[in-house]
Amino acid sequence: MNGTQIALTVIGALVLLLIFANIKIVPQANEFVIERLGKFKKTWGAGIHVKIPFIDRIAKRITLKEQVLDSPPQPVITKDNVTMQIDTVVYFRVFDSKLYTYGAVNPISAIENLTATTLRNLVGELELDGTLTSRDTINGKMTSILDEATDKWGIKITRVELKNIIPPKEIQAAMEKQMKAERERRETLLQAEGHKAAAITRAEGDKQAMILAAEGERDARIARAEGEAKAVLLAKQAEADGIRMLKEAGADASVLQLKRLDTLGKLADGKAAKIIVPTDVVAASARDVMFSEMTGLGDATKHEQK
């Protein structure tokens, strides 16, 4: 092999090496920005590409995946002059590789600074309590403002979150005391409600017991009255039955009157009762006594009884 052949072999090897060196493979979810002679030429998507050596160059390798920018805590002053430490988390992705490459010198640093200034402006319009209770509102406003501002950088802001809000230590101590007092107040209210409910329950129980006792006493009185009325009714019925039997046996009026007197005596039964006897009954009884004394039938009856 002479010198010419050796030279051609070396040149061929160098050409092949140069070709292989300029074959580029772009991974999925990535893009390469290509410049030709210092000017933007095109953007390579995922796949295999070949660039012209010494003319084309890869200006920037960009990922299209969603990225997270975690900013360190920074001091923020509220409307009522309370200084708090707040750190934010920004979620973003690149939607235009050309704008991302040529829109800002350092897009990530630009997002950090824009996030800090936007946060200070929003929190400066709120008081301490409003800041602590308006996370969602602040997140939404920051997302809208940052997304609009970063469009010209080829960046889409998908979400902004306030990760930590750290008030001063004295404010934290005051808040803890306030929360403790609020918890104690709620506990006192719950205990009072419990005592009230228990007292109402006891009162309702006592009321029901008194009602049941009164109803029982009323039923007992009614039962006693009904029993006494029934006893009187039965006595009257017995008297009526006796008189009817005497009438059926042919007894005269005087005997019937005496029977009535006897029945009235039984009704009194030795109790402190006042019995009113009609005058006709007294007269009939007197005639019966006179008749007995004149005829001697009463004495004969007495002798017979002896």
Say what the pLDDT of residue 5 is.
77
* 206/282 same-domain check: no
Q: Please state, in angstroms and as integers, the Cα–Cα distance from residue 132 to each residue in 126, 138, 151, 278, following that order.
A: 9, 10, 30, 103
Does the structure show a pLDDT above 70 at 286? no
Mean pLDDT of the chain: 81
Q: How far is CA 252 from the centre of its chain?
A: 92
Q: What is the pTM of this model?
A: 0.56
% of residues, the chain, pLDDT over 90: 35
From 249, 264, 291, give the residue that closes a domain.
249
Q: What's the residue count for the chain?
A: 306
Q: In sequence order, what DSSP letters do the residues of 67-92 get, joined into one string?
A: EEEEPPPEEEE-TTS-EEEEEEEEEE
Residue 132 pLDDT: 85
Asked if 115 and 142 count as a contact pair (C-beta separation under 8 A), the reply is: yes
- Give percent above pLDDT 70 in the chain: 80
State residue 66's pLDDT score: 94
Q: At residue 145, does pLDDT exceed 90?
A: yes
Task: Tell whether 37 and 117 lie within a shared domain.
Answer: no
Final residue of a structural domain among 48, 63, 78: 63
What confidence score (pLDDT) does residue 184 get? Answer: 83
Tokens standing for residue 211: 């009602």
pLDDT of residue 35: 94
> Is the pLDDT confidence value at 137 over 80?
yes
Q: Which amino acid is at 105?
A: V
> 108 and 17 in one domain?
no
Query: Domain count of the chain?
Result: 4
pLDDT confidence bin for 42, thresholds 50/70/90: very high
d(CA 88, CA 138): 11
My answer on whether 115 and 161 are in the same domain is: yes
One domain for residues 163 and 176? no
Q: pLDDT grade, residue 257 (50/70/90)? A: low
- Residues of the domain holding 13: 3-63
Q: Give the pair of three-digit tokens for residue 216.
A: 């029982």
Contacts of 72 (CB under 8 A, 6+ apart): 87
Q: Average pLDDT for residues 90-98, to the nearest whole number?
A: 95
Q: Are residues 73 and 44 in the same domain?
A: no
CA geometry: angle at 74 spanning 70 and 80, to 5°? 135
**pLDDT value of position 300:** 38
Give the mean model confidence (pLDDT) for residues 24-53: 93
pLDDT score recorded for residue 306? 37
- Residue 76 belongs to a domain with what CATH number? 3.30.479.30
For the cut 80, the answer to whether the pLDDT of residue 47 exceeds it is: yes
113 and 155 share one domain: yes
Confidence check: pLDDT of 140 > 50: yes
Residue pair 50/60 in contact by the 8 Å Cβ criterion = no
Q: How large is the average pLDDT for residues 100-125?
A: 92
pLDDT over 90 (residue 6): no
What's the rounded mean pLDDT across residues 26-32?
Answer: 94
Q: For the segment 266-283, what is each residue's pLDDT rounded down to a tens digit?
A: 555 555 445 555 555 455
pLDDT at 248 over 80: no
pLDDT at 292: 47
Residues 153-209: pLDDT tens digits? Answer: 999 999 999 988 888 888 777 777 777 788 888 888 888 888 888 889 888 888 888
Question: Are 140 and 72 part of one and the same domain?
Answer: yes
Q: What is the largest CA-CA distance in the chain?
A: 198
Tokens of 176: 């803890």
Same domain, 215 and 282: no
Q: Report residue 245 as tokens.
A: 């039997």
pLDDT at 28 over 80: yes
Backbone angles phi, psi at 33, to 5 degrees: -95, 125
Contact at 8 Å (CB) between 150 and 111?
A: yes
The closest alpha carbon to 78, from 127, 121, 129, belongs to 127
φ, ψ at 213 (rounded to 5°): -65, -45
CA distance 173 to 62: 47
- Cα torsion at 232, 237, 240, 241 (round to 10°)? -140
Q: Do 302 and 229 lie in a common domain?
A: no
